[in-house]
Amino acid sequence: MFEFFLKGGILMWPILLCSVIAITIILERFYYLRKSETDISNFLLGLKNFVNEKKLTQAELEKRIALMGSQQVREWEKNLRGLATIANVAPLLGLLGTVFGMIRAFMKIQQLGGQVDASVLSGGIWEALLTTAAGLTVAIPVLIAYHYFEGKVDNYSSQLKNSVGEYLESLSGEESGI
């Protein structure tokens, strides 16, 4: 396996770095978002305590809630842009490695004066394609993870909006004496 890595050329190193960074982000997001399943109830509890401590007008309250909600959503979305970037860059690095490999293969053909058998040509090509395979191997699971986490964040955001909306309705109902 390491032999294939080395034969892929210099661009295998940035692809490896992309995979290490992606794995780190994926593990961190799994942990954080799993913990966040209970954070929505904690958010509402904190919101209720905040409202009870401070007497705010409805407009001030809605502004504060919007600010707190957007901060929470930003926490959920943290590092997702990095995953999207890796999912886009890894195959491009692989393609660039393939282009470099093909250039080397054609330079070899030129050095041999055009008298090349199929084994020389195919050897250069398969080495060149290693970086494309590596880039895609990194990008595909990272893209899947990105969309999984994006769906989780959308789901949590909807739950948060619905819960806060219900809470605000209950507050306005209490104020109007309903």
Domain-wise residue ranges, the chain: 2-173
- The number of helices, as runs of H, and strands, as runs of E, in the chain is 6, 0
Rg (CA), the chain: 26
Cβ atoms of residues 71 and 114 within 8 Å = no
pLDDT tens, position by position, 42-78: 777 777 777 776 677 777 877 888 888 888 889 899 9
Q: What is the pLDDT of residue 177?
A: 52
Cβ neighbors of 86 (< 8 A, separation 6 or more) are 18, 21, 22, 25, 138, 139, 142
- pLDDT above 90 coverage of the chain, percent: 39
Q: What is the pLDDT of residue 20?
A: 98
